Chains A and B, each alone.
Chain A
Amino acid sequence: AQSVTQLGSHVSVSEGALVLLRCNYSSSVPPYLFWYVQYPNQGLQLLLKYTTGATLVKGINGFEAEFKKSETSFHLTKPSAHMSDAAEYFCAVTPRGTGRRALTFGSGTRLQVQP
């Protein structure tokens, strides 16, 4: 069974500082990997995804993530935080191949950006 662990339920950074949100997965085969963002009172929106190819993927709003198979990680980064980045971020995985393709979410990390 696959699982996702997000370290830190709350992360606080200053505006302009580096954002680093951690995600580790547990799966017998490297899965497809996703980061979603949820702004207050809204649904989830895809930030970026890794399926195959280059392990550093770029997403919307200046975010990027790197798939590291040896570390079973898919950490999300942004060089310079903006106030509008304040939201909750979810890492998610789904298995490759046929069969049930459930999307499993981590418990989320709430990002706070201080002025």
Chain B
Amino acid sequence: EAQVTQNPRYLITVTGKKLTVTCSQNMNHEYMSWYRQDPGLGLRQIYYSMNVEVTDKGDVPEGYKVSRKEKRNFPLILESPSPNQTSLYFCASRQGSANEQYFGPGTRLTVT
């Protein structure tokens, strides 16, 4: 089954404790993205990757890091989480700009 998986689905952590949210896709897609969803703001892109070892900042990259060492994986790293990073995070992948973007189920992160 074609899918994007994210782990964990729910995470509660404290300010400053490094965390990683994993993302994996099994469709051999070139493009992968991370978004955060906040009420009234829709989805905002955090980081974007066009292929292995090629990443680019989105609209709200501050406080986040990513890496793309393998085509299928695109982890999101929060080196020092802060409460303003409490949000719902989605990973997504697609093959080309005209094609459908597949979304993971989301990771709800709470930083206290």
B residues in contact (CB < 8 Å) with A? 4, 31, 33, 35, 40-45, 48, 50, 56, 58-59, 90, 92, 97-98, 100-101, 103-106
Contact = CB atoms under 8 A, between A and B. Distances in A.
A70 interface: no
A32 to B, nearest CB: 5
Contact of B40 (A104, A105, A107): A107
A43 B103 contact: yes
Given A100-B48, A100-B56, A107-B42, A44 B103 contact: yes
What are the 6 tightest A-B residue pairs by CB atom distance, in nearest-first order? A43-B103, A101-B97, A107-B42, A105-B43, A105-B42, A44-B103
Interface residues of A, number: 24
Chain A interface mostly: loop
Nearest to B100: A46
A96 B45 CA distance: 18
Contacts, number: 56
Given A102-B58, A107-B42, A49 B104 contact: no
A46 B93 CA distance: 13
Contact of A90 (B4, B33, B42, B56): B42
Interface in A34-84: 34, 42-46, 49, 51
Contacts of A6: 42
Contact of B48 (A34, A102, A108): A102
B42 A32 contact: no
Contacts of B44: 105
Contacts of B103: 43-45
A78 B59 CA distance: 32
25 contacts: A9-B40, A32-B98, A34-B100, A34-B101, A42-B105, A43-B90, A43-B104, A43-B105, A43-B106, A44-B43, A44-B90, A44-B103, A46-B100, A49-B100, A100-B48, A100-B56, A101-B50, A102-B33, A102-B45, A102-B59, A103-B33, A103-B101, A105-B42, A106-B42, A107-B40
